[in-house]
Structure 1
Amino acid sequence: MTYRRTLLPIAAAVAFAFASIGPAAAAPAGKVSAEVAASADKAVLAIANEYYDAVARFEPIGATENGDNRFDDQLGLSIAPARRAAQFKLYRGFAKRLQAIKPYQLDVKGRINYDILAYELQGLIAMERFPEHLLPVNQMDSVPVTLANYAGGEASQPIGTVKEYDAYLSRVSQMPAWIDQAIANMREGIKKGVTQPQAIMISALPQFQHLVSDSAETSIFYTPISKLPASFSAADKQRLSAAYRKVIADKVIPSLKRLATFVEKEYIPACRTSTGLGALPDGAAWYQARVANATTTTLKPDEIHAIGLKEVARIQAQFEVLGPKLGYTGPAAGLPVWVAAQPKFYPFKTEEEVQAVYHKLNDVLDTKLPLMFTLQPKAKLDLRLEPELSRATASDHYTAPAGDGSRPGVFWSVVNDPAKYGSPGMTTLFLHEGKPGHHFHIALMQELNLPNFRKFGGNNAFTEGWALYAETLGKEMGLFDDPAQYFGHLNDELLRAVRLVVDTGMHAQGWTREQSIQYMKDTLGYDVVAKSETERYMAWPAQALGYKVGSLKIQELRARAQKALGDKFSLPAFHAVVLGDGTLPLALLEAKVDRWIASQQ
């Protein structure tokens, strides 16, 4: 389960410190005039807008994933060393300009823009020392696979108008240059001892091999031409068909063959047999920077490891209570295996039956959520089946609405075989990926009149932390009164807790891939996801930490507010405070909630 979105930019601060928080930010005596405040706010906004456009042009696929389709005809070459160096020079320039503005001169909204921008720039600049461009592909994401997933026109990049057809072709035509740069980078990485773990590249190889085709017409990148709208003119159909055929045959297929051959024959044999990021040069600092990015905190890997172990124990204690209610009397760790073996939890024969459950749940939530939320997005949530084109490799996920409102938010359910689609996890999945999880947060961000760097940006701890917190609301809405659905919730929560343990274990404590897989098997009680999840954490160090850390922080802030305010506490008001400024780093969210508590007292 994941919200399919590239969080731009990579705000990976090693030390978390807002320039404008704390005693040093105190304003001098006297009140700042409205004119001065307006001028300072305008200056911050100007830097923010330049910064966002620079990031979007540097990583245009990230902009597309975030619902900004202005750069859909561009691929970018952010992995090129010269371009990367130029980008970091830009970041340092933005930071210098921002530091010249006095935070105390800003109004409330300007201050938030300032703090988030300062944080993001600090984090980006901190990442310059780490050669991430030497690791351009893995089994979780790569430019060729991303563009292949766009080919059906139902993902983040729309392909429905003549202009959109041209934009996609333009992007695909730039892929060979990206592939050649990626190969050059990986060769450089081999020389410097900076390679991916061999195991994950063995998993990635079939993806690249499957992208190679015998002809343009059989290539996945030719898919748009097989779906040309009848409304297109004959001239456009002819022109587009010929252009796609030529680019794919002359450029794309040869480059994909080069990539697949290089990975198989040259890269995999040279890849490292170690597991974690800590095994690379400067790896401990590299991982700590990624931890800071993923969690927006100063937590150390050992601290997160301990939190994970504590959460695992708490959830397994819940399994002890829940098991008998489901008819199970064995040890807690065996509950997931037992549930997975019960035919009654696999009631579906068709895709439509799966969808019907989600539609019914959506209707129920429409009656319950207004009691918890006064702040809701205007954008609708569509419920759709994942297209067959990408179904085999996808997991249930959410995609954001278009920034201009032309496309709704979508909850995609991935049903490869209805008979194997388990029912216990459906409620918690929809609360996370649909509403009030990602949809209430992400769709609302498009409507809050935020600067682009906030509307289309963010951080993993808030985004995934909010969605995981949203799952917990199912209990007070009565949606987990069914023990099977409550099991589904706890089972998913256990996975998020296990992630804290194995991610930090592999990247900071020297765990091997096999050690992680075994821990997941022993703790989760089943091995269906142990290999793929372990390899996900190997490919994306620290990415999975944000879920639990963010969720625990939101729960902590809610408990703090309830204790402080007593009868004055309003859950809808609390949710409005959390969501009302879009995505925030957790320290800024905490400061905001504390100010709200003080104002209510």
Structure 2
Amino acid sequence: MTHHLRFMLAPLAAAVALACAPLGHAAEHAVTPAVQATQAVPATTPAAVHKQLLALADRYYQATARFEPIGATENGDNRFDDQLGLSIAPANRAKQFALYHQYRKQLAAIPRAQLDRGDRINYDILAFELHGLLAMERFPEHLLPINQMDSVPVMLANYAGGEASQPIGTVAQYDAYLSRVSQLPAWIDQAIANMREGMRKGVTQPKAIMVSALPQFQKLVSATPETNIYYTPITKLPATFADADKQRLTAAYRSTVADKVMPALARLATFLEKEYIPACRTTTGLGKLPDGMAWYQARVANQTTTSLNPEQIHAIGLREVATIQHEFELLGPKLGYTGPASGLPVWVAQQDKFRPFKTEEEVQAVYHKLNDVLDTKLPQLFTLVPKAKLDLRLEPELSRATASDHYTAPAGDGSRPGVFWSVVNDPTKYGSTGMTTLFLHEGKPGHHFHIALMQELNLPDFRKYGGNNAYTEGWALYAETLGKEMGLFDDPAQYFGHLNDALLRAVRLVVDTGMHAKGWTREQSIQYMHDTLGYDEVAKSETERYMAWPAQALGYRIGMLKIVELRQRAAAALGDKFSLPKFHEAVLGDGTLPLALLEQKIDNWIASQKQAQQQAQH
């Protein structure tokens, strides 16, 4: 997301948190007799153990999807589209953590040794996820329900056009969306109550990001129900609907929006402006909140799926920045630039030749051509590819002003393809240098080869609709690097675009850890981004993104560096018998893994390849 991957609701403390500590290291909590009574009886046969694990995995997924139904929708599971969930209510939160403790106890009772290879992966990932979720139990994330990057009211508003993750095209889908909207006032009132408690406890958002967020909530307030964004579906009622349905839906939407939703939106906007923002903290990082350093470390573990600490990640970031700036020094002259490396991005941004477009169609034509070129080059690098097609579409006008280029997953039932959405607000200002890298990341072989393939593997729902940012974004960043060996970066302008994106991801490692663990201020981060990246337009918005989503931006580069490291390890170990398509198959073949499990898997794969080589020699 940026390149947003909308499919992953990373900031929600929901079903996708992962951590790399072993299962037994989390603090144990007393289990009530009621919980013990539901403890599964140990199974005996491998088939029974398999069944037991899948039943537990299914209970876990159903519970997380009902707890965060918007997370399920974002991840391509539309079965819960009529539910909003109230995960921020303290009582619901307590019940959910009690379930997680129960599931972990049940998982520990399943004899892992009796599972086959695929089920051992499911077991290990479920253990990781439960550990990561329970690591968050002590931290009051529910007291921070709103920021400028995501909140339930804004996400629900983004669905109103029917073009996003929640489809609104059939009568049933219209009813589902209305059901969600009708649950919004209760969510808003709970959010206000939580923020008031946060104000009392000194757990508030930084003032700067709430000042940035306020206009979003003021815009949701409308003069009439008909001009309210949540009424949008009624302005698009399909002509094919029966008149009775049209009349019923129109009346229901109007009364829900007018009587329930509009007053709640007004309450929220007034509360934020008059009470919350004046009470917000003037500090920047999560580390400044009570128990904040431990809170940040838990988020780092969940977002990177490693045991790296903020100091180590900060050092990696500084090293990466230096490496990429050295590449800039070598590249500048090839583009006709002779100044200092840090000035290259600004210089490129000023060159008209890198903004060659007059129409949206011209932008799309470049992506279509690139797609065709990749169809000829990717077969040399990949034997495992998804069956689902990739569509190239322009972001709809409704969401264009606020969207980033992104990918949406194919429907689980195959009814819609994967889509690469390009956001073209003004074609004459659309820069051409980043297009190859962007398509490799959001299209193929990035998110499409990973996420579409995930849907075709026979995985339990918690894996099919879950995952983690470190692998998901790490793979997409690794996919960008393949442009070099496919000859797509022989054009220095496209290689600049690749390096420029890489530099932003490296800078994130520095400023995220800087703000949340090392005491950097928002202004220090903006200054560092300005000095290092050489341009202003992202420094403020990106800094505030990292303030709102502590550690979320760390997974990208950390994940990519791990995949590159594993590839180098495999190539060194296997020598001239190393097969890149087979390596890619090993990385992608079991779907999303925490990085620690991926490393274990690739090490095992290297060992099995060596063994096969030795057997072939005898």
Which residue of the partner structure matches residue 11 of structure 1?
A: 17
Q: Distance in 1 between matches of 2:425 and 2:165?
A: 21
Which residue of the partner structure matches residue 432 of structure 1?
A: 441
> Once structures 1 and 2 are overlaid, which stretch shifts more, 36-45 or 504-513?
36-45
Question: How many angstroms does 1:36 deviate by?
Answer: 2.1
Question: How many angstroms does 1:12 deviate by?
Answer: 4.3
Which residue of the partner structure matches residue 382 of structure 1?
A: 391
Report matched runs for 1:319-338 at 5 Å.
319-338=328-347
CA contact (8 A) 2:16 2:466 kept: no
Residue type matched to 2:6 in 1?
R
TM-score w.r.t. length of structure 1: 0.97
Q: CA deviation digits over 1:172-213, x for unaligned, max 9?
A: 110010000000000000000000000000000000011111
Residue 205 of structure 2 corresponds to residue 166 of structure 1: no
CA contact (8 A) 1:308 1:497 kept: yes
Q: Distance in 2 between matches of 1:215 and 1:577?
A: 56
Q: Distance in 2 between matches of 1:103 and 1:387?
A: 48
Which residue of the partner structure matches residue 130 of structure 1?
A: 139
Q: Distance in 1 between matches of 2:232 and 2:110?
A: 50
Report the 3-state secondary structure (helix = DSSP H, G, I; strand = E; otherwise coil) of the residue aligned with 2:488. coil
CA contact (8 A) 1:294 1:543 kept: yes
Runs of 5+ consecutive residues of structure 1 not aligned to the other structure: 21-33
CA contact (8 A) 1:19 1:115 kept: no
Report the 3-state secondary structure (helix = DSSP H, G, I; strand = E; otherwise coil) of the residue aligned with 1:260. helix
Identify if the C-alpha distance between structure 1 residues 530 and 398 changes in structure 2 by more than 3 Å, giving closer, same or farther. Answer: same
Report the 3-state secondary structure (helix = DSSP H, G, I; strand = E; otherwise coil) of the residue aligned with 2:261. helix
Question: How many angstroms does 1:11 deviate by?
Answer: 2.0
Residue type matched to 1:9 in 2?
A
**Two-structure CA RMSD over aligned residues (Å):** 1.2
Which residue of the partner structure matches residue 469 of structure 1?
A: 478
> Once structures 1 and 2 are overlaid, which stretch shifts more, 135-144 or 225-234?
225-234
Q: Distance in 1 between matches of 2:361 and 2:272?
A: 40
Question: How many angstroms does 1:367 deviate by?
Answer: 1.1
> Once structures 1 and 2 are overlaid, which stretch shifts more, 314-323 or 566-575?
566-575
CA contact (8 A) 2:161 2:398 kept: yes
Which residue of the partner structure matches residue 144 of structure 1?
A: 153
Q: Distance in 2 between matches of 1:267 and 1:548?
A: 35
Match of 1:352 among 352, 361, 364: 361
Runs of 5+ consecutive residues of structure 2 not aligned to the other structure: 26-42, 611-618
Residue type matched to 1:548 in 2?
R
Which residue of the partner structure matches residue 26 of structure 1?
A: none
- Where has structure 1 moved over 4 Å in runs of 4 or more? none
Residue 424 of structure 2 corresponds to residue 408 of structure 1: no
Residue 58 of structure 2 corresponds to residue 49 of structure 1: yes
Q: CA deviation digits over 1:498-526, x for unaligned, max 9?
A: 00000000000000000000000000011
CA contact (8 A) 1:11 1:293 kept: yes
Which residue of the partner structure matches residue 40 of structure 2?
A: none
Residue 314 of structure 2 corresponds to residue 286 of structure 1: no
Report the 3-state secondary structure (helix = DSSP H, G, I; strand = E; otherwise coil) of the residue aligned with 1:130. coil
Question: How many angstroms does 1:10 deviate by?
Answer: 3.9
TM-score w.r.t. length of structure 2: 0.94
Residue type matched to 1:281 in 2?
P
CA contact (8 A) 1:103 1:111 kept: yes
CA contact (8 A) 1:208 1:260 kept: yes
Which residue of the partner structure matches residue 29 of structure 1?
A: none
Question: How many angstroms does 1:66 deviate by?
Answer: 0.4
Identity %, equivalent residues: 80
Residue type matched to 2:85 in 1?
G
Residue type matched to 2:4 in 1?
T
Report matched runs for 1:143-292 at 5 Å.
143-292=152-301
Which residue of the partner structure matches residue 447 of structure 1?
A: 456
Question: How many angstroms does 1:263 deviate by?
Answer: 0.5
CA contact (8 A) 1:275 1:512 kept: yes
Residue type matched to 1:187 in 2?
R
CA contact (8 A) 1:553 1:586 kept: yes
Q: Distance in 1 between matches of 2:330 and 2:186?
A: 57
Q: Distance in 2 between matches of 1:10 and 1:442?
A: 15
CA contact (8 A) 2:18 2:594 kept: no
Question: How many angstroms does 1:19 deviate by?
Answer: 6.4
Which residue of the partner structure matches residue 581 of structure 2?
A: 572
Report the 3-state secondary structure (helix = DSSP H, G, I; strand = E; otherwise coil) of the residue aligned with 2:237. coil
Question: How many angstroms does 1:41 deviate by?
Answer: 1.6
Q: Distance in 2 between matches of 1:37 and 1:314?
A: 50
**Count of equivalent residues:** 587
Q: Distance in 1 between matches of 2:223 and 2:180?
A: 21
Question: How many angstroms does 1:106 deviate by?
Answer: 1.2
Q: Distance in 2 between matches of 1:63 and 1:342?
A: 43
Match of 1:2 among 4, 26, 35: 4
Residue 548 of structure 2 corresponds to residue 539 of structure 1: yes
Report the 3-state secondary structure (helix = DSSP H, G, I; strand = E; otherwise coil) of the residue aligned with 2:393. strand
Question: How many angstroms does 1:130 deviate by?
Answer: 0.2
Which residue of the partner structure matches residue 80 of structure 1?
A: 89
